[in-house]
Amino acid sequence: MSFIISKKSELAELLKKSSEEALLKARHGYAVTIMERAIKYIMSYLKDYNIDVRKKYRENPIEVLIRIYWIPEKVKEVKEESKEKQK
């Protein structure tokens, strides 16, 4: 009788662990989905900007680094050329 009880408790513990893992996986997926929406939102408003996005979704916490370059490349090149001419 104790053998059956111990197997039931082991089964209950396994079910509890698997449900916790499923919950964590769902929470991670939801967080990634929201982060992707945030990136799309930013990029939709800044279409003519140079944007660098780096994502780290495998660790806790998930991280996103977004670099927005507001000076256009052409202007940047002209400024660099003028600095070189002044030397």
pLDDT mean across residues, the chain: 85
Q: Does 50 have pLDDT greater than 70?
A: yes
Write phi, then psi, for 54 (nearest 5 degrees).
Answer: -125, 130
Across the range 36-55, mean pLDDT stands at 95
Can you tell me the distance from the alpha carbon of 73 to that of 49, in angstroms, rounded to the nearest whole number? 9
Amino acid at 59: E
Q: Examine the pLDDT at 78 and tell me if it is beyond 80.
A: no
pLDDT at 1 over 50: no
How far apart CA 32 and CA 58 sit, in angstroms, is 10
Q: Which range among 22-31, 49-58, 66-75 shows the weakest confidence by mean pLDDT?
A: 66-75
Report, as an integer, the average pLDDT of 8-29: 86
Domain ranges of the chain: 2-86
Residue 5 pLDDT > 80, yes or no? no
